[in-house]
Amino acid sequence: MNARPDPIVLITAGVTGIVTSVTMIGPLLVDISRDLGISLGQAGLLAAAAGVPQALFSPFSGLLSDRLGRKPMIVIAFASVAVLSFAAALAPGFAALAATRFAAGLLGSLAPTSLMASVGDLFPSERRARAMGWFNMGFSFAAIGGVPLMSAISGALGWRWAFVTIGVVMLLLAGSIGRWFPRIPPMASGTSVIATYRAVWDVPRLLNLLGANLAERSLFGMIAIYLPAFVMLSFHLSAVAVAPVLILVALGAIGGNMLGGRLGDRFPQPVIFVVAQIISAGLGLALFGAGFPFAPVVALAVLLTLCNAASRPAFLAYGSDLAPRQRGAMFGLIALTNQSGLVIGSTVGAAAIGGGGYRGMALAALAQGVLAAALALPLLGRARMARE
């Protein structure tokens, strides 16, 4: 009898694949712009072509997941992204390529929310934070493994073969999910959309939860986007020379998810989030504002990423318990604030650098971390009441 893979292995692999399919466009832009005869700026719009529909459709994907089941949504998403990746490899021009990326972002949005909600469905509360840590590690695995692999394939064979490769990977993932992923019965079949959102919006302190997540993701987005440039400009490094630093930072995120998962299964989850965000705020202030030499800057960057990542498993595990029968809809709203936070973080970072250089970004990091912690403080009382 064939052994069935642990669901968390499939979930982590699925997150790694779907995140790679969206973020791999970065290292391909130069080759795409040359091959299609377009500017680099125009080629850069391909990132938004996939990212924007994925963000906007996430709440609706959660609703569908609650009604139709997690497994069908994940399989449809992965198979659609696979087919559309093959279509992208054959795109004759920019318009066709942008259209396939838009469709891939739209249909691919069915997967992340369903995968996140599946963690809440499949794992008991005493293991859920660690499982959420593995879910989050899919993002780091995409950053240090998936995207560099697609970049290497593009450099060796051309950008079209990178799309072919990710198409094959997503097709294999779709087949694996279809064969081995547990069937989770629909949680809200027969329930109207209005009733679903009424139940979600009746969750106490929901706006605090979403606001804290928005502020934390904004801090993360600002760091992820501007940290490489900060290190390169501060120490006169090339893109190749800064790569080891970014690998260390990604490993810090992996370590933070593992640590946060273990802490989240042992201690009150909102407490972990609040403490981690306060520490992250102080580390961000020191990283960008203190003018340290290279080695301390790298150490601070790794610690900041580790600490910020440590807050995520507990936070998501806490959110999974708030509306169990509407878990997909709840995580759809969280996914919306995830994507919105990344957009806000990039904007805040640009404004901070424009107004005060990297010292301005130090203050922005401090403000976002403190704001995330302050918004989450009321959740401590709710968690205490739930335990009692």
Please state the rounded mean pLDDT for residues 57-73: 85
Please state the rounded mean pLDDT for residues 139-160: 86
Please state the rounded mean pLDDT for residues 66-91: 94
Model confidence at 135: pLDDT above 70? yes
Q: In the chain, what is the greatest distance between 2 CA atoms, to the nearest angstrom? A: 64
Model confidence at 245: pLDDT above 90? no
pLDDT attached to residue 388: 45
Model confidence at 287: pLDDT above 60? yes
pLDDT level of residue 327 (50, 70, 90 thresholds): confident
Phi, psi of 25, rounded to the nearest 5 degrees: -65, -25
pLDDT level of residue 191 (50, 70, 90 thresholds): low
Q: Tell me: the pLDDT tens digits for 258-284?
A: 999 999 998 889 999 999 999 999 999
Model confidence at 55: pLDDT above 80? no
Which residue reads 């959110």 in tokens? 319
DSSP state of 93: S
Sequence-distant (≥ 6) Cβ neighbours of residue 243 within 8 angstroms: none
Cα–Cα dist 72/187, whole Å: 14
**Per the confidence metrics, is the pTM higher than 0.75?**
yes
pLDDT level of residue 210 (50, 70, 90 thresholds): very high
The tokens of 380 are what?
A: 């401590």
- 20: nearest Cα among 167, 155, 223: 167
Q: From the CB of residue 288, how many other CB atoms can be counted at a distance below 10 Å? A: 31
Cα–Cα dist 293/299, whole Å: 10
DSSP string, 227-271: HHHHHHHHHT--HHHHHHHHHHHHHHHHHHHHHHHHHHTTS-HHH
Please state the rounded mean pLDDT for residues 174-183: 93
pLDDT attached to residue 50: 83
Sequence-distant (≥ 6) Cβ neighbours of residue 385 within 8 angstroms: none
Q: Tell me: the pLDDT tens digits for 14-44?
A: 999 998 998 888 778 888 888 999 887 788 7
pLDDT level of residue 347 (50, 70, 90 thresholds): confident
pLDDT level of residue 84 (50, 70, 90 thresholds): very high
Taken as a whole, the chain contains a residue count of 388
Phi, psi of 323, rounded to the nearest 5 degrees: -145, 75
Q: Tell me: the pLDDT tens digits for 90-106?
A: 999 999 999 999 999 99
Please state the rounded mean pLDDT for residues 337-364: 83
Burial of 113 per CB tally in 10 Å (0-12, 13-18, 19+): buried
Cα–Cα dist 383/122, whole Å: 22
Q: How far is CA 307 from CA 257, 265, 386, in A?
A: 9, 17, 26
Model confidence at 241: pLDDT above 90? no
Are the beta carbons of 240 and 366 closer than 8 angstroms?
Answer: no
* Buried b or exposed e, range 331-343, using 16+ CB within 10 angstroms: bbbbbbbbbbbbb
Percent of the chain whose predicted confidence (pLDDT) is above 70: 95
pLDDT attached to residue 384: 52
pLDDT attached to residue 6: 87
